Amino acid sequence: MVVNLSLYLVTDSTPAILGSRDLCHVVEEALKGGVTIVQYRDKTSDTGVLIEIAKKLHNITRKYNVPLIINDRVDVALASGAEGVHLGQDDMDIRAAKEILGNDKIIGISASCVEDAVKAVQEGADYLGIGTVFATPTKTNTKSIIGTAGVKTILDTLSRLDRQVATVAIGGINTTNVHRVIYQSAAPAKSLDGVAIVSAIVAAENPKAVAEKLNGLIATPPSFA
Ligand code: TZP
Ligand code: MG
């Protein structure tokens, strides 16, 4: 499946980020603003609720022809008919996930170092979420803040592998720094395919406007490039 990862929305249902707003409404606004892929990330709801919300989100993302990815939970991806799953280093391994979901589903893997990234590519990941780029209140238990230099080192290594993989950067990315992330992370033979964003969109007063602004910035080279 060819997937456009350029503006990757990752959701958060916590009061600190979503507030009292409705997640489905926020996601639909972001889709109107042009996000190209959506990940449902919810670390607290129980399985029944996860499946219910995933199905609701899937009905929305389908209208926009945008893939829905489920964080952590292969079972929820299967039950909701989502297009894929995003797994961390401590989640189910890629081969097992593929056995359950089938080969046509998207499998994304988090990588914060060269070793994790190379292993995920060798095991057949469809894309990598590389980070944490900048410190972020959204995920405080992160092992490593790698900066744009860390992302660049990983992209540089990936560019020399036989099998190529799509990549997004994640962690603290917003309208102010998105250009820096894209252009400072680029290695000579490999650039990011996109950026993954939680709070800059989900916590925004106007998620549609922020998504539109991010899309415009991603599409336009900055003056320093
Ligand atoms: N993985 C690494 S950082 C992060 C995840 C899920 C959270 C990013 O959130 P934000 O609000 O875009 O900084
Ligand atoms: Mg995980």
- Report pLDDT digits (tens) over 179-198: 999 999 999 999 999 999 99
Mean pLDDT, to the nearest integer, of 111-127? 97
Q: Do you know the residue count of the chain?
A: 225
Q: How many CB atoms lie within 10 A of CB 14?
A: 15
Ligand 1 contacts (CB < 6 A) are 10, 131-132, 136, 138-139, 142, 170-173, 197-200
pLDDT band at 141 (very low <50, low <70, confident <90, very high): confident
pLDDT at 143: 74
ipTM of the prediction: 0.99
User: Catalytic residue numbers?
Assistant: 41, 110, 139
Helix axes 207-219, 178-185, angle to 10 degrees: 30
* Rounded CA separation 78/176 (Å): 37
> Which-ligand-closest: CA of 128?
1
How do residues 68-100 score in pLDDT, each as one tens digit? 999 999 999 999 999 999 999 999 999 999 999
Please tell me the pTM assigned to this model.
0.97
Q: Which ligand is nearest to the CA of 72?
A: 2
Q: Which of 170, 177, 202, 214 to mutate to test the pocket of ligand 1 (most atoms within 8 A of CB)?
A: 170
